[in-house]
Amino acid sequence: MSRLLAILLAISCAFAAYHITVQRGFVNPYPVVCDLVAEKIFLEDEQVRKWKRTCHRRSRLVTPYSPKKLVIKDINNVLGLLNVSHLEVYDSSEVKSIWRGEALETGIESEFVDSELVIFKLHPKSPAAMQGLRKGDVIKSINGDQPNPWEAQTESGTYTIERGKETHTFDIKATNIIRSESVTFEKLKNNAAVIQIPSFRADFFKDEKIKELEIKLKDVRRLVVDLRGNVGGNFVAGLRFLSLIICTPEEVGRLIKPRFAKNNSAELPNDLRDEKQLEILDQHREVILKTFKQNECYRGDVRVLVDGKTSSVAELVAQALKEFRKAPLLGSPSRGQLLVGVWYPLSEVGPGVEISIPEALYLSQKKHRIEGNGVELDRVLYYNLSEMQAGIDSWVKKALD
């Protein structure tokens, strides 16, 4: 009996020591997040003060034993009260996905066309591509359930596919894929061309890449700039592309930090390095975004395609082409997310966890605010099912009609 009591006492002491250790090492991440966001975010003081009080009240619910995923989810719910983009806490795996282009995916990108979910893009060497799925295939079900674009992009399991009059099943397992995307240029008949820009990554618009585009554009008379699915990227990369089409240096808009103490401004230099752009932004209330002098310039007709995924720098580019080249913006309403988010580590939540905080908003040259509004769309387009199944891009076709 005494031996049993001794064992129970030892267990109790170990348990107590564990709890004391956990509590002593615990740092509540909420106050850190509340104070950092309140200090950095671009919003007006009164709105931020009210939110900060709510945020600190919420922090009382966190304990040393709160699961990290639950804490991140709850913090993001509180951040959502401010109703702005680029304000979110990311776990280490999400940070890796964002910065390295890695994600647990099937490689399928799809859209609903006449109530059918149609594959319009397959990433090379992705699980779906390796299993034999094709552009234009109709996804009838995933694991026996009604499919949607998000599940088609991320869900493992059995895919029922309709291809013409035939029905096929494929077993697909989502894996970590690296999107090896690049800018593509396709010449069409009658001196027309389509340039598809998946993102404004800096390495897509280095000097040698710009020279290649200059050469390709020489014989083009009608150009479709395809920004569908483009979630943005590097500001200078966007300005370099615009410089190929806006033929003189022009101020296309400004990044503004309303809460910055000094009333100063600077022009963003022609430097693709993110750290240089952040340095300029960090030191000035307003950053002027101006296109650069270009040896060669495209002067033909321009049309721009956007969709619900088009956001950030891609929206800046689309709106600038509308304002300076009178390019019609075609497709569906863009995402309406154009703020400058600065990343900060949150070691208080866990290793590799980071938060993005929007510190500046964007106004175009004609004072159009994209955040919350999107670009000024000229015409809504719809996909045609039979054309998509035949591998014909309905939107590109309509843009050139």
Give residue-wise pLDDT tens across range 120-143.
Answer: 888 888 999 999 999 999 999 999
Q: How confident is the model at residue 82 (pLDDT cuts 50, 70, 90)?
A: very high
pLDDT tens-place string over residues 361-399: 999 999 999 999 999 999 999 998 888 888 889 999 999
CB atoms within 10 A of CB 397: 14
Q: What are phi and psi of 248, to 5 degrees?
A: -130, 155
Which letter, b or e, does each residue of 262-276 get, where b requires 16 or more Cβ atoms within 10 Å of its Cβ? eeeeeebeeebeeee
Is the pLDDT at 298 greater than 80? The verdict is: yes
C-beta separation of 195 from 226 below 8 A: yes
Structure tokens at 117: 């979910």
Question: Which residues, including other chains, have CB under 8 Å from residue 194's CB and lie 6 or more apart?
Answer: 185, 186, 188, 223, 224, 226, 396
Q: What is the C-alpha to C-alpha distance for residues 219 and 208, in angstroms, rounded to an integer?
A: 19
Average pLDDT over residues 187-194: 94
* The 3-state secondary structure of 359-400, one letter per residue: EEEEEECCCCECCCCCCCCCEECCCCHHHHHCCCCHHHHHHH
Beta strands in 91-204 (DSSP E): 102-105, 108-113, 116-122, 138-142, 157-163, 166-172, 175-178, 184-187, 192-196
253 Rama class: left (phi>0) / alpha (psi -120 to 50) / beta: left
Kindly state the average pLDDT of the residues 6-21.
Answer: 47
Residue 351 has a pLDDT of 82
pLDDT exceeds 80 at position 224: yes
- Beta strand 192-196 with 222-226 is parallel
What are the b/e assignments for 46-58, b being 16+ CB within 10 Å?
eebeebbeebeeb
Report residue 95's pLDDT band, with 50, 70 and 90 as the boundaries. low
- Partners of 301 in the β-ladder: 222
Tell me the average pLDDT across 250-269.
Answer: 93
Q: Give the DSSP H/E element, type plus range, for residue 97.
A: helix 92-100
Span 219-238, average pLDDT:
94
Which of the listed ranges 10-24, 102-116, 234-248 does the model predict with the highest average pLDDT?
234-248
